[in-house]
Amino acid sequence: MGRLTAQAKSELVETRRRQILEAAAEVFSARGYHDATMREVAAAAGLAQGTLYLYFPGKRELLLAVWDHLVIRSLAPLLEQAGPADLAEFFKTVLRNRLQILEQYAPLMRLVYHIADHDETFRAALIDRLEQMHDVAETCIRRGIQEGAIRPVEPRIAARMFSSVIVGYLFTQQFFDAANWPYGVDRVADEMGRVLAFGVVPRAATDLDGAAAPDPRRARERQDGRRGGERV
């Protein structure tokens, strides 16, 4: 059997790493952090335990890598692909993707933030990764401002607000009875996208379908003007 080329080795390493992270996400979600073992993760990934340790020295590093894989690494390609040209559709696409991940891995997300609350080393590493996520979002917002798709705002604040909307929705779903929540991810992403793009103040604007949205205040003013003319 011939020796693997450098590219083949790199692809094998990346494939195994992804295999480990996906297995770990399932194990951590089902078992929690303290009850999950590296042995269980290795078995779920179909690898020997020794092979697992070649990639990750312990559970802390593995959990951080899982979170990074699910939340951080998938964000940059999404933002680059979507682009902020159609702002409402852009927000809708990004929000749908983020909410689907949070919904699918809700136990894991709660676990990550719980561990961060009790482990200073873990929290520092998580904050570093959150800053990376904010950097990616900030770059996208700056591009939108330059292209005229986004009005001039402070990109860093806007990036953190966008992140807070998503994380806040996740925690709200956990505290309230999510089973009786009547809206699915698509409906929530659609409404959030509209609010983020256009706000909540009535105004003449272009909606997601490209139709001009009526301005209720102007409509009332025109109606009042007609009534005044009739009285005269």
In the CATH hierarchy, which fold is given to the domain comprising 58-214? Tetracycline Repressor; domain 2 (1.10.357)
Task: Please give the pLDDT value at position 211.
Answer: 42
pLDDT beyond 50 at 227: no
Task: Please give the pLDDT value at position 209.
Answer: 46
2-to-5, 15, 128, 165 alpha-carbon distances in Å: 9, 20, 42, 52
For residues 187 and 92, the answer to whether their CB atoms sit within 8 Å is no
Q: What is the DSSP string of 97-133?
A: HHHHHHHHTHHHHHHHHHHHHH-HHHHHHHHHHHHHH
Q: What are the sequence ranges of the domains in the chain?
A: 1-57, 58-214
Give the whole-angstrom CA distance, residue 48 versus residue 68. 23
Burial class for 54, CB neighbours closer than 10 Å (0-12, 13-18, 19+): exposed
- The better pLDDT of the pair 72, 221 is held by 72
Pick from 136, 125, 61, 128: which is nearest to 98 by CA? 136
Helices (H), 147-202: 155-175, 185-198
Instruction: Count Cβ atoms below 10 Å from residue 11 Cβ, excluding itself.
Output: 12
1-57 and 58-214, same CATH topology:
no
For residues 47 and 20, the answer to whether their CB atoms sit within 8 Å is yes
For residues 82 and 98, the answer to whether their CB atoms sit within 8 Å is no
pTM, entire model: 0.73
The separation between CA 152 and the C-alpha centre of its own chain, rounded to angstroms, equals 23
Q: What are 23-80's pLDDT values in tens digits?
A: 999 999 999 999 999 999 999 999 999 999 999 999 999 999 999 998 888 887 877 7
Task: Please give the pLDDT value at position 55.
Answer: 95
In the CATH hierarchy, which fold is given to the domain comprising 1-57? Arc Repressor Mutant, subunit A (1.10.10)
Pick from 101, 118, 128, 109: which is nearest to 28 by CA? 109
Q: What are 82-132's pLDDT values in tens digits?
A: 555 678 888 888 899 988 888 888 888 888 888 999 999 999 998 998 888
DSSP state of 176: T
Task: Please give the pLDDT value at position 84.
Answer: 58
